[in-house]
Amino acid sequence: MVTLFLSAVLCRADEGMWLIHLIEQGLAKKMQERGLQLDPDTLYDEEKGGLSDAVVSLAFGCSGSMISSEGLMITNHHCAYSDVHALSTPEHNYLEDGFWAMDRSQEAPVKGDGIWFLKKVIDVTSEVQHLRDSIVPRGGGFAMRRVYSLIEGKYRRLFKGKGEVSCSSMWGGNKYYMALYEVYKDVRLVAAPPVCIASFGGEVDNWEWPQHKGDFALYRIYTAPDGSPAEYSPDNIPMKPSRTLKISTAGVQRGDFAMVMGYPGRTDRYASSFKVNNIETVVNPIQVEIQGEQMKIIDGWMNLDPAVRLKYADHYFSLSNVQEIREGEIFCYSKYNVAEKKREQEVTLQQWIMSDSLRAKRYGTLLHDLDVKYKSLEYIEKQIGYFRETIARGVRLHRMVNHIARSAEMVAKSKGQQVPIADSTGVYEVIMKMYDEFDMRVEKDLVDLSIREFYAHVDRVFWGEWLSEQYDLFEGDTYALVDWIWANSLYTDQNRFEKALSEATTAEEYRADPLVAAISSTKMIMYNNYKSKVDRGVKLTRLENNYRNLLYQMHLEKGTPQYPDANSTMRITYGTVGPLCLCDGIICLERSTVRGILEKYDPDRYIYSLKPELKALYEARDWGRWADPSTGELYINFVTDNDITGGNSGSPVMNGRGELIGLAFDGNKESLAGDTYFDPVMNKCVCVDIRYVLWILDKYAGMNHLVAEMLGE
């Protein structure tokens, strides 16, 4: 018994986000050995249709799956967060209270780029390489954009009226595939739980295990009456998908097979040790430091004022997610000695390069050149990093002030003279809606942080004239400088702002504003020009491309199976349900229960608070038919060792029969080096149990009709 337990704990995952249309025989055999019960040929089949037809992309930001013959699609709540936030108002705060469409008339249309269904994949390698060879020598750095434009234009004409096309590079340009997608734009929100369910534990529990999140949301896709994709219309009808996933209510057990299909965003598994070291020691620390301070500011104001929370919840959610990932990457790079492991691989690569005289002549100094290049660029990368995280990204008012100046020019051009923006009702309403997204108390603190950190870390040569003059004028007192900006800017006081909009204020006057001057004094071109001077000769991008290409060729020559880096194309990954062995003597079980929610419950901490009626349901322990038959518990989340990354959020997690058992929504802290390194023991995929989703819909939301639809009852 002990031996069986240890073997389950120490089971090593199979690395790889494999292309769904290239499941070769060796991979299929491994999947079957791990527990796949389906014929691998049925996972993807362009002619007959496959399981992949039920898996969708939410405009390549998240993944989802079709779960009913009436167009019902399920994904993560955090993928729907912006839609729920956009629908929310102080009177109807769907983030806090949940969104429940009790019939189809209440389903809410959402804006966006639609839901994408993969229909066909075509190998266009020879065509692209021919175009590349004919254009790149003449076209310089932007030539590949021209290549993609030409090849996609050709296939767009070929498949005109049948959908959208997208060409993707694999293995550093060794392969190119054209994907044809069918895109549906009429998408309506059906159900989304309140944040106390969907993100219980908030950013504190993100990337941790165990978690207790009901991270799901439901949409319905609508089509024209003839079943074709269409823009929103009240006359549209629910989609009839060609394939749906059957939901399994049997639950999961340790050792169960699990596979994930979805659209992972970006990985860089073939990055050099030099790049990993640069990320660990130069790039990420800056982002983690500044974004962490921004989060403290926003969180402080959100805790003081519910109106601020409503305005900033979406931004804070995005900010915290990225900040935690970058912080986790630093932790994992150090914990697993990733750069050192890469260097060990590079010893083998160097030996392979030198084993061929032609390769040795052309690439013998590649690793040395990479080392020298990264060291020479370290200074400017730090300068760029601090500029990017402070003035460029840290001042959120950038977008608004630029839009207003352009609006003044547009109104003047349309009227033949400068007139008040307020005279143009449509333009004025857009601007005021944008203005209402901000709270100037929060923005002042964010600007104060950005200017203070900018001056502290960026060398004066990059400040620009205005910032240099003001620094001297205020004798380095950034607090006084920001106070002066706020007292004199048109944008920072609503009365001054509305007065400017009601007068014939010119674009030049808007741009002369001290707030605009502060954020425009230094521009990215200053940093790019300096970087270009340092990155002379063979560019860093060329060296990195050569490195990846040589790795690919070496693996190919040695017959080593290899998957391409994730790039938002459909992938499949397989693994096993199992516990997490954190460190010596500490093992976290593979499933979490309601008990954990009640243990974490704290009414004085927002992220661990519960609605009274929800807490009462948990305490009543009425799990109904959603309880696990072997234990009587209601399971919330479970973990597998599937290889996933950003973009996989919302991906269906399926058992060996291809039935839906959960949704992937997170990883663990120990997996946060996953973009460049996969640890076969520590990398975990955190999933919401589909039975918890059904319990929420049934017992909490009272959406029995939706449960019946999902289960085909």
215 counts as catalytic: yes
CB 573 within 8 Å of CB 16 = yes
SS3 471: helix
CB 101 within 8 Å of CB 72 = no
* Burial state string for 107-119 with b = 16 or more CB within 10 A and e = fewer than 16: bbbbeeebbbbbb
What is the DSSP secondary-structure string of 452-470? HHHHHHS-GGGT-HHHHHH
Helix or strand holding residue 90 (H, E): none
* Catalytic annotation, pick one of 77, 78, 85, 212: 78
CB 521 within 8 Å of CB 393 = no
CA dist., res. 58 & res. 221, Å (int): 12
Tokens linked to 663? 């949704």
Going 142 to 147 to 148 to 149, the CA torsion angle's sign is positive
CA dist., res. 662 & res. 692, Å (int): 9
398 counts as catalytic: no
SS3 673: coil
CA dist., res. 11 & res. 26, Å (int): 20
Residue 167, φ and ψ in degrees, nearest 5: -100, 135
> Which CB contacts under 8 angstroms, 24+ apart, belong to 211-214?
211/592, 211/636, 211/637, 211/666, 211/686, 212/592, 212/594, 212/596, 212/597, 212/600, 212/636, 212/637, 213/636, 213/637, 213/665, 213/666, 213/688, 214/77, 214/636, 214/688, 214/692, 214/693, 214/696
HSE-CB for 525 with a 13 A CA cutoff: 3
Residue identified by tokens 């954190």 is 582
CB 421 within 8 Å of CB 431 = yes
> Which CB contacts under 8 angstroms, 24+ apart, belong to 236-239?
236/186, 238/70, 238/71, 238/104, 239/70, 239/71, 239/184
* Catalytic annotation, pick one of 215, 299, 314, 689: 215
Helix or strand holding residue 264 (H, E): none
- Report CA-CA distances (Å) from 426 to 310, 397, 421, 496: 25, 21, 9, 20
* Catalytic annotation, pick one of 649, 675, 679, 698: 649
Residues whose CB is less than 8 angstroms from the CB of residue 281 and which lie 6 or more positions away in sequence, other chains included: none
What is the DSSP secondary-structure string of 560-625? ----PPPBSS-EEEEEEB--EEEETTEEE-SEEEHHHHHHH--TTSGGG---HHHHHHHHHT--GG
CA dist., res. 355 & res. 340, Å (int): 23
CB 626 within 8 Å of CB 691 = yes
Residue identified by tokens 């948990």 is 618
Which has the closest alpha carbon to 577: 9, 6, 2?
9
SS3 243: coil
SS3 664: strand
Residue 165, φ and ψ in degrees, nearest 5: -120, 155
Residues tagged active-site: 78, 215, 649
